[in-house]
Amino acid sequence: MELQKYADAHSHIQDFENIDQIVKESTDSGINHIICNSTTFDFLPPSLLNLYPFIIPCIGLHPWYINKEQNVEYEKMENILKSDERIQVGEIGLDFIKAKEKEDQKRQCEIFISQLQLAIKYNRSMSIHCVRASGEMLKIFKKQLKGQNYNAAIIMHSYGCPKEITGSLDKLYPNFYYSLCLNMKMEQLNHIDKNKLLFETDAPYQYNPNIVESEDKKSHPKFLIKLIQDCATYLNEPLLAQIVYNNFRRALKL
Ligand SMILES: [Zn+2]
């Protein structure tokens, strides 16, 4: 029997010091793809692509790293996207816990929209961070996706939006995917179509000892397997691992 393969839909594995070891342990465990998100444009995905071909690198400015004075170098991002079509867009989005003032929220929206437009222009998938901003996010998607010839996946990372938002997103665009992390709530599984489901570890972040304990208190891509097993038990769906792996391959056109 062939060993089940897995795909980690969201990580920051560049933030590990021992990346070679993490990559080896992941592949040995059956992790076949890992999406690796940047948080600023200084991260150079091509180096990751060449070293670890199963890693899918993304370029983007994370909403936590928006600095008020900074001149955002979209050209740098665009050049990275142009350099290799395997590079996707992420992590981008809105976080209204981080930005409480109207003015800061407006700036987050502007920067999010500019990056989203680059993803659309190059037809790349997007990894989306959305915290307490689902209404605004939905409005932006409605406007920006309208009339576009775009068919890549939009991966809602560490998904926790209300089910009404999931329904609206599904109606708006067929390639939204909802990625659940180690800190997910099982009830979320009741409101998401199985064929739209992905799983992620956000490694080394979002450590959750209730799923897997580890001495260094960091999450690891290999923890994905236990997370999916727990969800398969909850859903009483023994084929869940295969379903979400197929979802990932469809989403990323692999
Ligand atoms: Zn992240």
Residue range(s) defining the domain that contains residue 26: 6-251
Q: Cα of 84 to ligand 1 centre, how many Å? A: 22
What was the pLDDT predicted at 43? 75
| Predicted local distance difference test score (pLDDT) of residue 1 | 62
Domain contains 32:
yes
How many angstroms separate the alpha carbon of residue 2 from the centre of ligand 1? 31
What's the 37 CA to ligand 1 centre distance in angstroms?
Answer: 6
Whether 1 is covered by a domain: the verdict is no
Q: For residue 61, is it within any domain?
A: yes
Please report where in the chains the tokens 């290799």 appear, as a residue.
Answer: 84
8 A C-beta contact, residue 176 and residue 156: yes
Residues, CB-to-ion distance under 5 Å, ligand 1:
91
Q: pLDDT tens across 46-99, in order?
A: 678 888 889 999 999 999 999 877 789 999 999 999 999 999 999 999 999 999
Torsion angle of the four alpha carbons 118, 120, 123, 128, in this order, in degrees rounded to the nearest 10:
80
Gap from CA of 237 to ligand 1 centroid (Å): 28
* Amino acid letter, residue 150: Y
Q: Which residues of the chain have pLDDT under 70?
A: 1, 44-46
Distance 1 CA to ligand 1 centre (A): 34
pLDDT number for residue 69: 75
Which position has the token pair 């009741």?
A: 190
- CATH number, residue 66: 3.20.20.140
Asked if residue 220 belongs to a known ligand binding site, the reply is no
Question: Look-up: residue for tokens 């409005």?
Answer: 139
**What is the structure's pLDDT at 253?**
96
Placement of tokens 């680059």 in the chain: 118
Predicted TM-score of the model (pTM): 0.96
Residue 46: name the closest of 87, 13, 76 by CA: 87
**Which residue is it, tokens 């790293």?**
65
pLDDT of residue 99: 94
Q: Write down the pLDDT at residue 53.
A: 87
The structural domain count of the chain equals 1
Is 10 a known ligand-binding residue? Answer: yes
By three-state DSSP, how is residue 95 classified?
A: strand
